[in-house]
Structure 1
Amino acid sequence: MRNISDIIEEHIKEILGNYGEIEIKRSEMAEKFQCVPSQINYVLKTRFSLERGYVVESKRGGGGYIKIVKVKPINEMELIDQMIEFIDDHITQTRSQAMIVRLFEEELITQREAKLMISAIDRSVINLSIPLRDKVRANILRAMLQALRYKR
């Protein structure tokens, strides 16, 4: 059974698919889905992040409108290069997973490849202390992205 976050995400993506950019009002969305406005914030923060290819801007005044834009890369290489630059010298599991989900959504990798990549960067596999684990994860993810540059 899907949870409310999945339903809200699907609804927003459906609208974005038609327009590429939308403005929503947090309170109206909360009313539509019969949830608290903080639930909308949670969905926006976790499902519409830069790692996943979205820019979310809060518009102050005017009743709390939020602008969501789907960022489309010029080509696959540009997306992979941007992701490599985004990694820095360390990266959390959450941000890594979001990047892998975006690769899948952009159809650069298959669902099977995404699952393999997510498994390889999981905290249970990289059983190290946090600062070192995030550095090792960054190196692994960077190497996988480099390999994707030559996939096609």
Structure 2
Amino acid sequence: MRNISDLIEQYLKQMLQDSNEGAVEIQRNDLADRFSCVPSQINYVISTRFTLEKGYLVESKRGGGGYIRIQRAELPALKSITPFLLGVIGEGVDQGAAEGLIYQLEEAEVVTKREAQMLKAAMSREALALKLPLRDEVRARILKAMLIALLSK
């Protein structure tokens, strides 16, 4: 059985998919009531599963009538994606950010599911058994090299 966080994530993604604008505005309390959970559970889902690394922009307005706006962040056109990705990765990247970027590339169908799985395996702490900050630097170099090879098809 799926947990409440998975159900909330799925619901929000479906709302985004059904939206003509590619964005949704929700009220935290309304969503919490819908799923019979506390509003902090909604905050947790949004802050962990709707991040920029995973391809989402989140805007929050607090107070009376406040809302949370979630929208997909579109990747640049394929021809300009390599410089964009190299800039995002920088000189070092942690595992979470690398996996989020890979997830975003897979969702946008820039890489296949299999390519994404191989990228994630190469980015894992287990594969890169080095001390920080060297691990993040090596991860960034490997990720850049692999993405350049994949996107030069």
TM-score by length of 2: 0.90
1:62-117 CA distance string (max 9 Å, x none): 34311111122342233443222111111110111111111111111111111111
| Partner residue, 2:8 | 8
**Where do 5+ consecutive residues of structure 1 fail to align?**
none
Q: Percent identity?
A: 48
Which sections of structure 2, spanning at least 5 residues, go unmatched? none
1:28-67 alignment to 2 at 5 Å? 28-67=30-69
TM normalised by structure 1 equals 0.91
Code of the residue aligned with 1:112 in structure 2: it is R
Contact 1:51 1:98 in 2 (8 A): yes
Is the partner of 2:53 in helix, strand or coil? helix
Match of 1:110 in 2: 112
Instruction: Tell me the matched-pair count.
Output: 151
Amino acid at match of 1:150: S
The Cα RMSD (Å) is 1.5
Aligned partners of 1:134 and 1:8: how far apart in 2? 31
Partners of 2:24 and 2:123 lie apart in 1 by 33
Contact 1:126 1:133 in 2 (8 A): yes
Per the TM alignment, residue 54 of structure 1 is displaced from its structure 2 partner at its CA by: 1.0
Identify if the C-alpha distance between structure 1 residues 42 and 117 changes in structure 2 by more than 3 Å, giving closer, same or farther: same
Runs of 4+ aligned residues of structure 1 deviating over 3 Å after TM superposition are 77-81
- Equivalent positions of 1:114-129 (< 5 A) are 114-129=116-131
How far apart are 1:9 and its partner, in Å? 1.1
Paired letter, 1:16: L
Match of 2:58, as an amino acid? V
Give distance in 1, aligned partners of 2:121 and 2:9: 24
- Cα offset for 1:35? 1.8
Deviates more, 1:13-22 or 1:34-43: 34-43
